[in-house]
Amino acid sequence: MKKYHEQIEYLVGQEPNLVELLQAAEIRELLREAVNAGAAWILLTLDDGSVVCSEEGRSIPPEFREIRAPLSLEGENIGTIIVRGDSGCSALGGISAMLRSAIMIVMHNNLKRMLTAEMHTSLVTRTYDELLSKNLDLSASEARYRELAQSLELKVKERTEQLGIANARLLQQEKMVSIGQLAAGVAHEINNPIGFIKSNLATLKKYSGRLLEMLAWYEERTADSPLLAAGAAAKKTELKLELVKSDIWDLLAQSLAGAERVKKIVADLKGVSHIDESVDREFDLAQEVERIMTVIQPQIPDDAVIVQEIEPTPKIPGSGALFCQALANLIQNACLARPAGLKLTIAARCANGLVRFSVADNGPGVPPELRNRIFDPFFTTRKVGEGTGMGLAVVYDIINKSGGNIFVADTLGGGAMFVIEYPVAAVEGV
């Protein structure tokens, strides 16, 4: 609305400027002809007293008369034509009337011309301005679309990458969930049989004691009869009962220990998958380390030396299951970095406002130029098909989401040390 007002300068209805409507040059010829026709002196004045034009004959007659005729425009009187001439000049009335009529027509036509011309000009100007602004808008829009078209390819590539990463993460998470569920299912199924195996083994141990006791009793009684004793000894030797007697306790003890171990593995499997907990609010570092070490044991080479320097720390906010997953990934990486002669140091302590947890190996370490890339999704130094490049990306995600920070450093011996730090403020906030 405001814009429109600024553009319209000419107002339809403005009172006409009379001087513009009656220019001396235009009507001088008329006045001259009137003088030629017999008028002695003609004066044309406007209402405000200004003289537009005047014309004189050769001489003013001594006896003259004067005729005044009003000029009007749009119905208003705006001026006067004064005609003087010889008193005897009969044509003076006619001259005055014709002059008035002619000048009125000139004025009227000039007014019309002015109105139409000004209207036309103002409309043309406004239309031009509108076109100009429209053109400007169009140019801007065109530039925007051109830029859009150029960057589209780039954007598509970028988005495709993001999509791929999101997809891989999702896949990894699903995988972990399935593994967790599988582990929990297996653990649940094994729990029952291992329970009665353990219990039966204990009973079997008790029964075996009784059988051996019976055997001793028989031996004692047959000692009095040499014939019977010799037969019994021969049979005993044939059945290798001396060996059985000494071995039976070892077998039972080993079986019981094995069953005990299976029971512990099952418990840790359940712990790692955290199947019993609906939502973890916080977890204990030492407990999670113990659980994962049991479960991951078969993947660790036999000659590996594992050092645990776990000091008590406050509980960490977040999911223990996810932390286990991160820890498992770090340990698996260490095993791959140093297949033989691995020395793995897992440490946790609380100092300087930070809970500091580290996993260090004695492998080749991470070259400095790769350190800011190893946490990127799909970044891997392994051969195609051997690594997905998602392991450390998942670790990074897990630690970041629980408010921690992870980075890689050197160990004294040149291996890699992954350090995870949780600010104590965040820890204490729980």
Can you give the binding site for other proteins, defined by CB under 8 A?
Answer: 1, 4-5, 8, 10-15, 72, 74-76, 108, 111-112, 115-116, 119, 122-123, 126-127
Question: CA nearest 333: which of 311, 364, 356?
Answer: 364
Q: Name the residue nearer to other proteins (CB basis): 111 or 212.
A: 111
Q: Name the residue nearer to other proteins (CB basis): 115 or 337.
A: 115
* Joined tokens for residue 306: 């594992």
Pairing of strands 343-351, 305-310: parallel
Minimum Å gap between C-beta 116 and other proteins is 6
Minimum Å gap between C-beta 48 and other proteins is 11
Task: Please answer whether residues 342 and 334 qualify as being in contact, where contact means their C-beta atoms are separated by less than 8 angstroms.
Answer: yes
Bridge partners, 410 (sequence order)? 416
∠ CA 278-284-289, rounded to 5°? 105
Minimum Å gap between C-beta 75 and other proteins is 2
Minimum Å gap between C-beta 52 and other proteins is 20
Bridge partners, 146 (sequence order)? none
Q: Name the residue nearer to other proteins (CB basis): 122 or 255.
A: 122
Q: Name the residue nearer to other proteins (CB basis): 74 or 213.
A: 74
Locate tokens 């479960």: which residue?
Answer: 295
Q: CB-based contacts of 185: which residues, under 8 Å, 6+ apart?
A: none
Minimum Å gap between C-beta 108 and other proteins is 8
Cα(184)–Cα(189) distance, rounded to whole angstroms? 9
Q: Which residues of 30-55 are buried (b: 16+ CB within 10 A; e: fewer)?
A: bbeebbeebbbbbbbbbeeeeebbeb
Minimum Å gap between C-beta 27 and other proteins is 20
Q: Name the residue nearer to other proteins (CB basis): 1 or 25.
A: 1
Task: Please answer whether residues 357 and 292 qualify as being in contact, where contact means their C-beta atoms are separated by less than 8 angstroms.
Answer: no
∠ CA 319-322-328, rounded to 5°? 140
Q: Name the residue nearer to other proteins (CB basis): 77 or 199.
A: 77
Minimum Å gap between C-beta 165 and other proteins is 53
Task: Please answer whether residues 241 and 248 qualify as being in contact, where contact means their C-beta atoms are separated by less than 8 angstroms.
Answer: no
- Supply the DSSP string of 308-356, one letter for each residue: EEE---PPEES-HHHHHHHHHHHHHHHHHH-SSS-EEEEEEEEETTEEE
Q: Name the residue nearer to other proteins (CB basis): 87 or 127.
A: 127
Minimum Å gap between C-beta 317 and other proteins is 60
Each as own residue / partner, the long-range contacts of residues 109-116 (CB below 8 Å, 24 or more positions apart, any chain) are 110/20, 110/21, 110/22, 110/26, 111/16, 111/21, 111/73, 111/74, 114/16, 114/20, 114/21, 115/12
Task: Please answer whether residues 330 and 396 qualify as being in contact, where contact means their C-beta atoms are separated by less than 8 angstroms.
Answer: no
Cα(137)–Cα(351) distance, rounded to whole angstroms? 62
Q: Name the residue nearer to other proteins (CB basis): 104 or 165.
A: 104
Minimum Å gap between C-beta 157 and other proteins is 48
Q: Name the residue nearer to other proteins (CB basis): 121 or 150.
A: 121
